[in-house]
Amino acid sequence: MEPTHPDDRIELRGLRVLGTHGVLAEEQQRPQPFELDLDVVVDTAAAAVSDDLADAVDYAALAAAAVDVVTGRPHRLLESLAAAVADAVLARPGVRQVTVAVRKLRPPVPFDLDHAGVRLTRPSR
35-80 pLDDT, tens per residue? 999 999 999 999 999 999 999 999 999 999 999 999 999 999 999 9
Mean residue pLDDT of the chain comes to 94
Query: Which stretch of DSSP H or E encloses residue 69?
Result: helix 59-70
% of the chain surpassing 70 pLDDT: 97
Q: What is the pLDDT of residue 67?
A: 98
**β-pair partners for 31:** none
pLDDT at residue 2 tops 80: no
pTM: 0.94
Which among 14, 91, 104, 125 is annotated as catalytic? 104
Distance CA(13)–CA(75), nearest Å, equals 22
**β-pair partners for 41:** 9, 97
Q: How confident is the model at residue 7 (pLDDT cuts 50, 70, 90)?
A: confident
**Angle at which helices 78-90 and 59-70 cross, to 10°:** 150
Distance CA(52)–CA(49), nearest Å, equals 8
For range 108-117, the mean pLDDT: 94
Domains of the chain: 9-106 (3.30.1130.10)
Q: What is the pLDDT of residue 18?
A: 98
* Cα-based angle 44, 50, 56 (whole degrees, multiple of 5): 40
Query: Does residue 5 or residue 83 have the better pLDDT?
Result: 83
CA distances from 121 to 14, 31, 100, 124 (A): 17, 26, 6, 10
Q: What is the pLDDT of residue 61?
A: 97
For range 112-121, the mean pLDDT: 96
pLDDT digits (tens, 9 = 90+) for 94-108: 999 999 999 999 999
Q: Give yes or no: 104 in active site.
A: yes
